Every structure is written in structure tokens, then in C-alpha cells.
Amino acid sequence: MPPADVETASDSLPQGSCYRIQVLVVGRHKRWRDEVSAQVRMLGYQVTACDRGVDAMTVLALGLPVDVLVVDTALHGSLCCAQLAVEARTLRPGLRIILARDPVDAMGPEVSARVPDALLVPRDQLQNGMVATTMREALASRAA
């Protein structure tokens, strides 16, 4: 039997939807990705996990269904966290974006200005069982 949170979360599905909520988790630390992905799956959502921004952009560019993008701000490389958030928003204007940040990480003004509705949450919040609350908040703001 699915957890009770799944029933609450299913209320967020658009009318007539034939798929479950799709979450794309992107982070360079495997342990973090695995922990967040496992919690998202426990909620009954589908998860795709990537360790590089380029892979995440490929998923988005291919048109695969993604409702929520969760990005660790520790993501580095040619398509780092800030650039990924901006590019994802350009490609999919209605995409809900959650940026999991370490309190010592400095977010560039580019992300704040170009993705003002991105949810900024402490990284440890997603590792300490707060995924359900964060996902509900992201999905509720999408519907608003």
C-alpha cells in the first residue's frame, strides 16, 4: 500500500494526467542523489537522477516529462547549477525548480534575477526527510 503522502501529492496532478509526477534530481555527490531520489520514490513520484548538468539538459531537451527539477548547488562543470537553472527555465518556463544549497554557497545574482521563483532550500533539508514538504510546496506554486 502506498504511503499516505502519495494520496495528498496525487491531488497536485493536472486534470486528465496519465503519468505520475516526474522529478529530475541533479547533483555531483552520488550519496546525496541517492538519498533524495529514494525519498522522492517513497512519495510515489518517478525519479531520474543525473550527476552532470549536461545530462540533465539532455533529458529536458529530449522533451521527457519533468515536473520538478531538484539541483544541488554544489554541481560544477560546463553546465553548473546556476547555468542549468537558467537554461532549464528558458527551455521550460513552467518547470518547478528546487535549488538545494549549502548555507556557505553563494548563489549568483543571475539565478536570483532569471529564476526568481526557484525554491531555495538547505541541502540537509532534503536529506533529513523534508522532501515531501518541499515537493508539495513546489507543486503548489506551479498550480498557483
Residues in Cβ contact with 21 at an 8 Å cutoff, skipping those fewer than 6 apart: 9, 12, 13, 44, 45, 46, 67, 68, 135, 139
pLDDT, tens only, 83-140: 899 999 999 999 999 988 876 665 656 666 678 888 888 877 776 678 888 888 888 8
pLDDT value at position 131?
81
Q: How many other CB atoms are there within 10 angstroms of residue 61's CB atom?
A: 12
Residue 59: C-alpha distances to residues 8, 88, 92, 137 (Å): 27, 10, 12, 23
pTM over 0.95: no
**For residue 3, is pLDDT > 50?**
no
- Residue scoring higher pLDDT (144 or 91): 91
pLDDT, tens only, 9-23: 444 444 434 468 999
Reported confidence tier of residue 59, pLDDT bands at 50, 70, 90: very high
